A = this chain, B = another copy of it.
Amino acid sequence: MVTKQDTDLARADSLAREIFSDVANKWAFLIIETLGDRTLRFSQLRNEVDGISHKMLTQNLRMLERNGLIEREVYPTVPPRVEYTLTEPGQGLRATVDSMCGWTRRFIEDIEAARRSFDG
Taking Cβ atoms with an 8 Å cutoff, the residues of A that contact B are: 12, 15-17, 19-21, 23-26, 29-30, 51, 65-69, 88-89, 92-93, 95-96, 99-100, 103-108, 110-115, 117-119
**Could you show 9 A-B contacts with beta carbons less than 8 Å apart?**
A15-B111, A17-B51, A23-B100, A25-B26, A66-B115, A66-B118, A92-B103, A92-B106, A96-B100
With A66-B119, A96-B103 known as contacts, the answer to whether A20 contacts B24 (CB < 8 A) is no
A20–B29 CB distance below 8 A:
yes
Q: Is the interface of A mostly helix, strand, loop or mixed?
A: helix
A95 to B99, CA, bound (A): 8
A66 to B114, CA, bound (A): 6
B29–A104 CB distance below 8 A:
no
A19 to B113, CA, bound (A): 13
Determine which of B16, B68, B100 lies in contact with A110 in the assembled complex, contact meaning CB atoms within 8 Å. Answer: B68
